[in-house]
């Protein structure tokens, strides 16, 4: 792994977000073999990803932002966090108001889902990029924390690939097109990740803002997408998943971060 740590931040972000995209594609791949997936497995994956991402917002984003020693840290972190969450709220409002396929409710729902997943992947990719950009710049983000952030987002992306591909397939789209659109929803993370890493590399002063912004966006995604989806299939399984994901991230960060 030494070779990886010797790379530039944007190169690390490129590899990390390629991994998160690959899990999106892997999630869309079963569309070639079936039209649905078990609700129990889907719920546990989503809730575990939620737990990992909740822990990541603190260990990988907010705590390193605080440790940069920026002046008026409370204002910087709060404003960045609120703006990040506000971005996701606005995204939800816009996607819900999309007036396409108005004559076909199922197709409209699929289009809204595709748009929502794709847009939500932008701040997630940016969060990974910012974390690895900060890691490469020696700004307080631990290697394990950055890697686990990418792993958490990747785990979440697996069922997201399913969320996009399977409804498209169920509505008559070919297997290949359903897979292609499903994996494409995660490709935006690569662009966002590299952009985020380059931004904090060449403008290190924005690092605490970028970390807090990414944290706010991540919390909003967890609250608006992952938790409702996972808890809809049973709160006990979903609660276990959240606790498992959060504990896993916390143990790895404390033990190896």
Q: According to the model, what pLDDT value does residue 205 have? A: 74
Neighbour tally for 93: CB within 10 Å = 9
Instruction: Provide, rounded to the nearest whole percent, the portion of the chain with pLDDT above 90.
Output: 12
pLDDT at 104 over 60: no
**How many CA atoms lie within 13 Å of 92's alpha carbon, on the beta-carbon side?**
13
Q: Which residue blocks in the chain are alpha helix, DSSP H?
A: 2-5, 9-28, 39-56, 63-67, 73-96, 105-136, 143-170, 175-202, 207-221, 227-231, 235-256
Rounded Cα gap, residues 232 and 99, in angstroms: 26
Model pLDDT for residues 55-99, shown as the tens digit of each residue:
878 877 788 778 777 788 889 899 999 998 898 888 777 766 655
- Higher-scoring residue by pLDDT: 126, 92: 126
pLDDT at 20 over 70: yes
pTM for the predicted model, two decimal places: 0.68
Model pLDDT for residues 149-166, shown as the tens digit of each residue:
888 888 878 877 876 787
Rounded Cα gap, residues 173 and 159, in angstroms: 19
The CA-based dihedral angle spanning residues 33, 44, 251, 223, taken in that order and rounded to the nearest 10 degrees:
110
Q: According to the model, what pLDDT value does residue 155 have? A: 81
How is residue 128 written in tokens?
A: 């990974």
């Amino acid at each position: 792994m030494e070779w990886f740590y010797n790379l530039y931040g944007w190169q690390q972000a490129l590899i990390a977000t390629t991994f998160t995209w690959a899990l999106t594609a892997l999630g869309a791949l079963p569309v070639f073999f079936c039209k649905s997936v078990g609700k129990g497995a889907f719920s546990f994956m989503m809730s575990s990803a939620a737990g990992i991402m909740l822990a990541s917002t603190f260990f990988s984003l907010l705590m390193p932002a605080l440790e940069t020693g920026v002046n008026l840290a409370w204002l910087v972190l709060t404003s960045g966090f609120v703006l990040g969450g506000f971005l996701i709220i606005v995204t939800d409002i816009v996607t819900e108001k999309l007036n396409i396929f108005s004559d076909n409710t199922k197709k409209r729902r699929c289009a809204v889902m595709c748009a929502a997943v794709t847009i939500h992947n932008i701040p997630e990719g940016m969060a990974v990029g910012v974390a690895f950009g900060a890691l490469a710049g020696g700004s307080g983000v631990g290697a394990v924390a950055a890697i686990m952030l990418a792993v958490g987002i990747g785990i979440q992306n697996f069922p997201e690939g399913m969320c996009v591909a399977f409804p498209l397939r169920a509505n008559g789209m070919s297997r290949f097109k359903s897979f292609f659109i499903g994996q494409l929803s995660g490709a935006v993370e690569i662009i966002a990740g590299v952009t985020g890493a380059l931004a904090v590399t060449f403008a290190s002063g924005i690092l605490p803002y970028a970390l807090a912004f990414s944290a706010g966006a991540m919390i909003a995604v967890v609250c608006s997408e992952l938790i409702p989806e996972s808890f809809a299939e049973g709160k006990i399984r979903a609660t276990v998943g959240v606790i498992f994901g959060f504990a896993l991230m916390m143990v790895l960060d404390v033990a190896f971060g």
